[in-house]
Amino acid sequence: MIFVPLQFVYFLHIIEKGKPMKTTHYKQRMRFELRGDNGRVRGFIEYTQGKNGQLRAEHTVVSKKYEGQGYGGLLVDALAAYARENQQTIDPVCPYVRALRQRQPEKYEDVIII
């Protein structure tokens, strides 16, 4: 995985069947999307602005066809990287984000606060 910050857009490049995918941050929509090489959205995570600058992870959605392949985790990683870069923390309102934080505390304990 490689995170490359470009102004307000973040790209997370992964390889699937030899073709790159990217996670793009739509800052005005408060949303990260994961798209396949065909440009179709495979999943997204939405957040809102919470108290004291904290980000509230509201929803993580992955298309049924792609569930169980780690795409939800990639979306959480993108939001976590954005929060770290901006010295913010994440309130895991979304049950998936909360569960991932509990399963991988060493990866997220600094940024996802439960």
Q: Where are the domains of the chain?
A: 2-108
Please, are residues 58 and 47 in contact by the beta-carbon 8 Å criterion?
A: yes
Distance CA 18, CA 11 (A): 17
pLDDT (tens digit, 9 = 90+) per residue, 51-61? 888 999 999 99
71-85 and 95-103 helices cross at what angle (nearest 10)?
A: 80
DSSP 8-state secondary structure symbol assigned to residue 27: G
pLDDT (0 to 100) of residue 91: 97
DSSP 8-state secondary structure symbol assigned to residue 112: B
Instruction: Return mean pLDDT, the chain.
Output: 86
pLDDT (tens digit, 9 = 90+) per residue, 18-54? 555 679 999 999 999 998 878 889 999 999 999 888 9
Distance CA 65, CA 30 (A): 24
pLDDT (0 to 100) of residue 18: 58
pLDDT (0 to 100) of residue 36: 84
Distance CA 8, CA 64 (A): 29
Say if domain 2-108 classifies as CATH 3.40.50.720. no
Of the candidates 29, 30, 28, 23, the residue with the CA atom closest to the CA atom of residue 3:
23
Look at 98 and 51; give whichever has higher pLDDT. 98
Look at 11 and 26; give whichever has higher pLDDT. 26
